[in-house]
Chain A
């Protein structure tokens, strides 16, 4: 579904991620783990078109999307939930959600799914996004991304700033989406949560993929256990 090969990207002429290869098959959930500053966000921003790559290929369902602007990529079926969420703070929950369906009108079936997933959003329909709690804003960010009916959902650290209970709930919601056939790519620092949720994973260190494998394999890898699971 998504194939990334030889990807390099960065800011101001120096590459933050170098020669990255990874792929996602339809229906899979894949995680990218790595410490702060490893390049996860840069990698995602490049894949979804907010940043132009300096080298390499990104193919989505066979089509080369490297260097395509984000506003076109989202129409092809990839929705991105950034760690900073980038909601429209002075607009209501309802308006944020309906903009997720841009340029069309919100699809009632999708809207129903989002509301079943996050009943909170329905209660807060008329509230301004910027006045909600971090957890609610995260729900809205995911909800808005879903309104575009994506085939691939990319999430950058969806549990940032969430209490452990809310973080677990966020992954429960993602689990429901997976059962409905959505393909998910997630970058995460809360590695145990992501590990339980995903099929496979890649470890990104200093901008390069150093290890890859099924999540079960990675959970047993001594290096991964030491660095990301806090096992000594």
Chain B
């Protein structure tokens, strides 16, 4: 029981981090980035190549985070330009189609050139006892990094002028303009942040299991499910939904079977959306 809950929290934190970057971009700019998982995978590959070239893990990881941010910036400067000219539903749809194109191209290229590459930052050493449950060091480190990241996001959004400005655009774009905030600049900033978060997803995940070049779409799909359940645009919602779905997933896998856990996860997501269409912490339009 305790073991399942702890495993669920570990997985849930991973889910939450996964959704944070996706949910922010959607909440802020109405842009649904289906290349999100590819941002994570490309960053992971940058870490792999840096380490292949002889870099040690820490600088390689930093390089991977920078690569994630650059990927986000590049999306903002190129493919999302026509998207910004649209509003509402048309904007969501075009962003979805264009980023899906980017995802397919990136996936195709990586599968063609580097089909067998994978990022593996496995942390060895014996298990550590938490509440009597032996936990893998890699999972614990990944969870600690995720918690620190969420704390940093909380401080950024709650207490800094820039973070408040970003939130104001999510709350009321016109109101934001009226106080002198440029919504496009905030969106660019958040796309960079989202890329860094995607990179962090791949890096923390690889501390427990290898992240291969095929991982992109499954990262996007899980991020999407968690983001929708949490309420699109809400970072606390992403964390809450991540934790709930993580725990549900682990219990389902342990009592019913791994093969059904994805279906149960989807069912839990569907039920949440039926009860609360805007998601757990989402705002009604």
Interface residues of A (CB under 8 A from B): 48-50, 69-72, 74-75, 79-80, 82, 85-91, 95, 98-100, 102-105, 144-145, 147-148
Contact = CB atoms under 8 A, between A and B. Distances in A.
A99 to B, nearest CB: 5
Interface residues of B, number: 17
Given A50-B174, A102-B181, A91 B167 contact: yes
Contacts of A86: 172, 174-175, 178
Task: Across the A-B interface, give the 8 residue pairs with the lowest CB-CB distance, nearest first.
Answer: A86-B175, A88-B171, A70-B177, A74-B180, A71-B177, A71-B182, A86-B174, A102-B179
Given A71-B182, A99-B164, A88 B172 contact: yes
Contact of B180 (A85, A88, A90, A148): A148
A89 B171 contact: yes
Interface in B173-204: 174-182
B180 A71 contact: yes
A102 B167 CA distance: 13
Q: Would you call the interface of chain A mostly helix, strand, loop, or mixed? A: loop
A85 B165 CA distance: 17
A90 B171 contact: yes
A231 B161 CA distance: 51
Contacts of B177: 49-50, 69-71, 74
Interface in B106-140: none
Given A50-B178, A99-B176, A102-B165, 4 more contacts: A71-B180, A88-B176, A91-B171, A147-B179
Contacts of B178: 48, 50, 70, 74, 79-80, 82, 86, 145
B161 A103 contact: yes
Contacts of A144: 179
27 contacts: A48-B178, A49-B177, A50-B178, A69-B177, A70-B178, A71-B176, A71-B177, A71-B181, A71-B182, A74-B177, A74-B179, A79-B178, A82-B174, A86-B172, A86-B174, A86-B175, A87-B172, A87-B175, A88-B176, A98-B161, A98-B164, A99-B164, A99-B168, A102-B161, A102-B165, A145-B178, A148-B180
B172 A99 contact: no
A90 to B, nearest CB: 6
A99 B283 contact: no
Contacts of B283: 90
B178 to A, nearest CB: 6
Contacts of A88: 167-168, 171-172, 175-176
Nearest to A104: B161
Contacts of A50: 174, 177-178
A49 B178 CA distance: 9
A48 to B, nearest CB: 8
Nearest to B177: A70
Contact of A102 (B171, B172, B174, B180): B180
A168 to B, nearest CB: 26
**Which of B161, B164, B171, B176 counts the most chain A CB atoms within 10 A?**
B171
Contact of A103 (B167, B175, B180): B180
Contacts of B167: 88, 91
A116 B172 CA distance: 27
A98 B164 CA distance: 9
Nearest to B175: A86
B182 A69 contact: yes
A53 B165 CA distance: 27
A207 B119 CA distance: 64
Nearest to A49: B177
A91 B164 contact: yes
A28 B86 CA distance: 40
Between B168, B175, B176, B181, the greatest number of chain A beta carbons within 10 A of the residue's beta carbon is seen for B175
